[in-house]
A and B are shown apart, each in its own frame.
Chain A
Amino acid sequence: MGVEGIPVTKHETGIITTRIDDLIRWGRKNSLWPLPFGTACCAIEFMGVASSVFDISRFGAELVRFSPRQSDLMIVAGTINYKLGPVLRRIYDQICEPKYVVSMGACACSGGFYDNYATIQGIDHIIPVDVFIPGCPPRPDAILNALVKLQERIDREPQRGPRRPVTEHGQTR
């Protein structure tokens, strides 16, 4: 089995040993299941990434699952306005830990050029974001770059304990 990328110790008996944390990290980063929360133009670019020319499945993120119970990476692609804000928060809360959020496109990162009464000026006002992808819309290569950066970030994570501060009601911030 391919265990490149995690520190292993090879023994002469043909057994390799590693730490549980490293193994879990390896499995987690190479099998992120995205939930494309696509609203606008960036969703079309996400469809382009999923198609065979750019192929996100090379990085393990092939299984696009639209249910928050079945995915662990939420890619917010498109403008989020005030009407959709509570919906986004609700879907984010329904994803089980560990969960990651990628904010794709200028509108999700900061409201884009829609600085007006209708658009939330950045989804990080309502949910915590791990990777921001600039662009309007970002090229599919940029999305793949963001996925690699997220994988590198997962590599650096300590595994014990919750990833983010938890409120007294058990919700993650």
Chain B
Amino acid sequence: MMDPKHTDNPNPESENSPAAADLDLEDETTLEDLDVEPMFINIGPTHPATHGTFRVFCKLDGERIEKAAVEIGFLHRGFEKIVETKHYTQVIPYTDRLNYCSGLVNNVGYCKAVERMLGVTITPRTEIIRVIICEIQRIMDHMICVCANLVDLGALTNFWYFFNAREKLNDLLEALTGARLTYSYIRIGGLAWDFPKGFEANVTEAMKQVPKAIRDVEGLVKKNRIFIDRARDVGVMSAEDAVSYGFTGPCLRASGVNHDLRKKAPYYHYDEFEFDVPLGEKGDVYDRIFVRIEEMKQSYRIVEQALKILPGGPINIDDKNVMLPDKDKVHSSMEELINHFKLVIEGIKPPAGEIYDAIEAPNGELGFYIISDGSGKPYRIKCRPPCFYLMNGLKKLIEGHMVADIVAILAGLNIIAGELDR
């Protein structure tokens, strides 16, 4: 509060006005002497900046957040309960809707766990096709996360750049699978159908958009003073805290911890591909965004290499307990007809037991813990969602920051409500 006597007052009469005389401002009045109350603000569940529905309730001291409470569960769809009533193959569309920005990666994670339980090894061609698809989905998921994050910081142009590139990749996957968002292309033991002829050329063509879009976005944002001020040192998570909170994926790597399942526990020939794992230094919003952008570049490299070594051969395994027989044989031969009937009515039957398998999804470690009782329906499937543990850390990340930083931090964690609430 300024002492009116010391201000450059263009209106000299007001110094003697009754209002000025009422305020006794002889001494220095500091903020602590004033009667202040904290403000409580509720953000969500419907709010332009919440990515998905969840609620953050904050106690504010001016603009700074003193305490925050995060509430989730607004997209709880009972995934784990309803899959207990479905066959193993019928669960695949439900897994699509977990992290719907990269649906195929969830399919791959689930099918990989069931295949390990069945004890089958998929064909080499399927392995490389799954790698190509997972990396394309990783690029698409990171594109959505980064462009949404930048929109929340005010940089709207990047949304169009990345969405245009993503639409080209989405057209590619639509031509392959028939669906735009929830693909359900992967099957237990293989794929739904093979790549069409000449598809590899389409992939190369569509992927050309990716480096251009990344260059455009980086050019706008990387050295931008405003962006650095809003993103550097905001939402810092140290490496020990990140590990304690169960962070995995780009958010963990942004804090400097080198943990990537594609390098630590390689599956599907990832150890034969040359790619780097980008790491951040401080674990702030800037690092999370740029770790994702660097990972997009690395995924581009992996897809290039994978297309070169893509082998020919069958895509489905030759196991009549797992794969449906060819349709023309089903219509002509009795044995295949009965096999088809049993697989559709009773489902695939893994042996009784339990398994946990995880893959490196774009958001972190996506794991499935499956308990089988020997029947065609899973007894229990627990999905280990990467977002759940990231969201757990949100409270720690935002306390002490200002209200405007909430959206920047939240968007950097890439919270997909489908995965968070299952």
A binds B: yes
Indicate if A45 sits at the interface (CB-CB under 8 A). yes
Query: A39 contacts B78, CB within 8 Å?
Result: no
**Stretch from A4-12, A75-83, A125-133, A151-159 that touches the partner:** A75-83
How far, in angstroms, from A172 to B82 measured CA to CA in the complex?
A: 35
**Given A40-B100, A45-B181, A137-B181; A118-B46 close (CB under 8 Å):** no
How far, in angstroms, from A56 to B46 measured CA to CA in the complex?
A: 22
Which residues on B sit within 8 Å (CB–CB) of A53? 163-164, 167
**Given A51-B167, A87-B46, A114-B78; A39-B417 close (CB under 8 Å):** yes
How far, in angstroms, from A109 to B77 measured CA to CA in the complex?
A: 15
Which residues on B sit within 8 Å (CB–CB) of A60? none
Which residues on B sit within 8 Å (CB–CB) of A43? 52
Query: A41 contacts B76, CB within 8 Å?
Result: no
Query: A51 contacts B181, CB within 8 Å?
Result: no
Which residues on A sit within 8 Å (CB–CB) of B74? 39, 81, 83-84, 87
**Given A41-B418, A52-B160, A66-B47; A117-B81 close (CB under 8 Å):** yes
Closest to B45 in A: A87
1/0 contact trace for B149-185 toward A, CB 8 Å?
A: 0000000000110011001001000000000111000
Which residues on B sit within 8 Å (CB–CB) of A91? 46
Closest to A85 in B: B74
Complex interface residues of chain A between 80 and 117 (CB less than 8 A to chain B): 81, 83-84, 87, 91, 107, 113-117
Query: A45 contacts B81, CB within 8 Å?
Result: no
Which residues on A sit within 8 Å (CB–CB) of B180? 45, 48, 137, 139
Query: B160 contacts A41, CB within 8 Å?
Result: no
Indicate if A23 sits at the interface (CB-CB under 8 A). no
Complex interface residues of chain B between 91 and 149 (CB less than 8 A to chain A): 93-94, 97, 100-101, 144
Indicate if B12 sits at the interface (CB-CB under 8 A). no
Closest to B170 in A: A48
Which residues on B sit within 8 Å (CB–CB) of A78? 75
How far, in angstroms, from A137 to B170 measured CA to CA in the complex?
A: 14
| Interface residues in chain B, defined as those with a beta carbon under 8 Å from any beta carbon in chain A | 45-48, 52-53, 73-78, 81-82, 93-94, 97, 100-101, 144, 159-160, 163-164, 167, 170, 180-182, 417-418
Give me the 3 closest cross-chain CB pairs, A-B, nearest first: A41-B100, A66-B48, A118-B78
